Amino acid sequence: MKFQVERDVLAEAVAWTARALPARPALPVLAGMRLQAGEDLTLSSFDYDVSAQASLPVAVEEEGDVLVSGRLLAEITRSLPPRPVEVHTDGARTILTCGSAQFSLLMLPAEDYPALPDMPPAVGTVESDVFAAAVAQVATAAGRDDTLPALTGVRIEIEADTLTLIATDRYRLAVRELRWSPAKPDLSAAVLVPGRALADTARALTAGAEVSIALALPGENGDGMIGFEGGGRRATTRLLGGEFPRYQALLPDQVNATAELPAALLSESVKRVALVAERNTPVRLSFTPGQLLLEAGTGDEAQAAETLEASYEGDDIQIAFNPQYLLDGLTVMDSDTVRISFTAPAKPAVITGKPAADQAPDYRYLLMPIRLGG
Amino acid sequence: MLAAVRIVIARCSVDYAGRLTAHLPSAPRLLIVKADGSVLVHSDGGSYKPLNWMSPPCRLVEQPDRWTVTSKSGEILTISIEEILSDASFDLGIDPGLRKDGVESQLQETLAAQLSVLGEGWRLVRREYPTPIGPVDLMCRDGDGVSVAVEIKRRGEIDGVEQLTRYLELLNRDPLLAPVRGIFAAQEIKPQARVLAEDRGIRCVILDYDALRGAPRDEMTLF
């Protein structure tokens, strides 16, 4: 095998592919990254749950197929000087040369490397930027606790030309609707995708204009799988099983009070006031007509208070939130103005951007308050 | 007063000779001599860790101004005592041991008392229902009178599913019981274990121990 490639192009593709390298490989070959030089260079990694593959144009002098330590290759390519890179095999070693630096890597047995799963059939495409932003908005609410595996996932509901992404960790729930282009207009499906893998993949697939989504539903052939492809990169992830809560019932159908205020000012203020909030203690929000008072800390500790101008309609309300959860929702809001809707101090609040007139917001962040004085 | 813990506050210096040598200059310190023979030297800091210690089996030879603790392998801890400020012994009796919440026996007891978690109208046949290869945690009858064997784990892994599968295989040979269905209940169930269990028609149930015990949650959740 022998090829030349630009350092940045290689480093980026290797870094992307390295995401699917298992931290503790069950089989030694799974620690490897496969380099296949044909017309293009194809990089692959796989841990039986997640696979990643990147194709990049390189100048191939001699075709070949090698497996080298993925972690090491990723660290090397990240640290190379900005010069063209040449890779070739020499006996049982793969030699990587860049400028005056040379690395000689041991080869793992490529013939023992498992075949990557076939990409399931494509079901539609979505704009990569929109998709990445939507996934980031939702994945922030996904659980990180493996004792409730279904809650570590993001549910993707497909209904004709609308994708709905939902995640919840029981303390908050994020829902985002977005348009996409289904391959078949009457497609209807719902799957549960591991949240962290989805967030990583969506963020990394913004190189191309579009992301193609491929889906194999759980059935006789296994757990089901979702694939994403765009800009010469593709990733597959095994779907999660388990029951996802019926989230529609959690969205309050009645609103007794609504506040609107600038998103940036509110998040900055929450960050400031929360400095005195010990772990797991709330920030308290008191809304009165025209203003919001934020407070944190109690009598025995440091305390903070700040007043913001806010438009507010409804009876005065005092409500308390986990500051981090509140910030998580505010930072992913895609609007300069946030609207917070309340039912009661012990009922979840709904945070949305300020939608254009007569339009329902496409992103909703439902946040459970913390009991005051408890 | 042999089987007692002895607590001494003394101004002392300590020398240790063994795999390495260490010296603690003179200062007031807390010396603990436990009934198992171990000797611990504590300062008023450094958290739970002693500055120096000797694990049993070891021998303590006490002279008025010097304690010598010798271990089996020949390490020597020498405590040179300048002044004893306090010396007290207490017989603590037999320790009941550390009890952890949420162990399997407690989960079994708690779930047996609240079978409604599994379904309406369920009855307990008995806990520790015997089979030829060991007892299954709970044997129940569901609302329709069908036998259900429940295996309870703290962490549900594949070997727990295999264990329940073996019980079910044997229990289903009993014409008075058969058909026996299975439930795999745990505080957390590994995805692989869940896949295997569900593939074998075994229902998986996540046990929320705090909720089962009726412990008040201090956090409010959406569901």
Whether B78 and B112 share a structural domain: no
| B65 domain-assigned | yes
- A155 CB within 8 Å of a chain B CB: no
Residues 6+ apart with CB under 8 A from B144: none
Check CB contact under 8 Å for B195 and A223: yes
Check CB contact under 8 Å for A242 and B194: yes
Q: What is the ipTM of this complex?
A: 0.75
The pLDDT, as a whole number, for residue A62 is 95
Residues of chain B with C-beta less than 8 angstroms from the C-beta of A370? 219-220
CATH number of the domain to which B134 belongs = 3.40.1350.10
Residues of chain B with C-beta less than 8 angstroms from the C-beta of A242? 194
| B143 domain-assigned | yes
Residues of chain B with C-beta less than 8 angstroms from the C-beta of A351? none
Residues of chain A with pLDDT under 50: 374
Whether B205 and B116 share a structural domain: yes
Whether B72 and B113 share a structural domain: no
Number of domains in chain B: 2
Name the residue among A170, A241, A346 with its Cβ closest to that of B222.
A170
Whether B110 and B205 share a structural domain: yes
Whether B88 and B133 share a structural domain: no
| B99 domain-assigned | no
Name the residue among B187, B195, B223 with its Cβ closest to that of A245.
B223
Percent of chain A residues past pLDDT 90, beyond the cut: 78
Q: Cα–Cα distances in Å, from A348 out to A27, A165, B212, B222?
A: 46, 19, 25, 7
- Residue B144: domain span: 104-212
- A141 CB within 8 Å of a chain B CB: no
Residues A175, A162: Cα–Cα separation, whole Å: 13
Distance from CA of A352 to the nearest CA of B (A): 18
Residues A228, A214: Cα–Cα separation, whole Å: 6
Whether B108 and B208 share a structural domain: yes
| B145 domain-assigned | yes
| B30 domain-assigned | yes
Residues of chain A with C-beta less than 8 angstroms from the C-beta of B187? 147
pLDDT tens digit sequence for A166-207:
999 999 999 999 999 999 999 899 999 999 999 999 998 987
Q: What is the CA radius of gyration of chain B?
A: 28
Distance from CA of A127 to the nearest CA of B (A): 32
Whether B72 and B138 share a structural domain: no
| B217 domain-assigned | no
Whether B18 and B62 share a structural domain: yes
Residues of chain B with C-beta less than 8 angstroms from the C-beta of A320? none
- List chain B pLDDT tens, one digit each, 223 residues: 446 889 999 999 999 887 788 888 999 999 999 888 889 999 988 778 899 888 888 888 888 889 999 888 888 899 999 999 999 988 887 777 666 555 788 888 888 888 888 888 888 888 889 888 989 999 998 888 899 999 999 899 999 999 999 999 999 998 888 899 999 999 899 999 999 998 899 999 988 877 777 654 456 888 8
Residues of chain B with C-beta less than 8 angstroms from the C-beta of A366? 222
pLDDT tens digit sequence for A97-143:
999 999 999 999 988 899 999 999 999 999 999 999 999 999 999 99
Whether B122 and B202 share a structural domain: yes
Check CB contact under 8 Å for B222 and A371: no
Q: Is A171 left (phi over 0), alpha (psi -120 to 50) or beta?
A: alpha
Last residue of a domain, one of B67, B94, B121: B94
Distance from CA of A1 to the nearest CA of B (A): 39
The pLDDT, as a whole number, for residue A159 is 95
Last residue of a domain, one of B46, B63, B94: B94
Whether B132 and B165 share a structural domain: yes
Q: Are A235 and A209 in contact (CB under 8 A)?
A: no
Last residue of a domain, one of B73, B94, B115: B94
Distance from CA of A232 to the nearest CA of B (A): 31
Instruction: Name the one residue in this structure whose structure tokens are 């013939």.
Output: A111
Q: Is B102 helix (H, G, I), strand (E, B) or coil?
A: coil
3-state DSSP percent of chain B in helix, strand and coil, to 5: 20, 45, 40
Check CB contact under 8 Å for A147 and B187: yes
CATH number of the domain to which B29 belongs = 2.70.180.20
Instruction: Name the pTM for this structure.
Output: 0.66
- Does residue B57 have a cis peptide bond before it, meaning omega lies within 30 degrees of 0? yes
Distance from CA of B150 to the nearest CA of A (A): 20
| B138 domain-assigned | yes
Residues of chain A with C-beta less than 8 angstroms from the C-beta of B223? 170, 245, 250
| B223 domain-assigned | no
Which helix (H) or strand (E) element contains residue B169?
helix B158-171
Q: Which residues pair with B129 in a beta bridge?
A: B136
Whether B32 and B116 share a structural domain: no
Whether B141 and B205 share a structural domain: yes
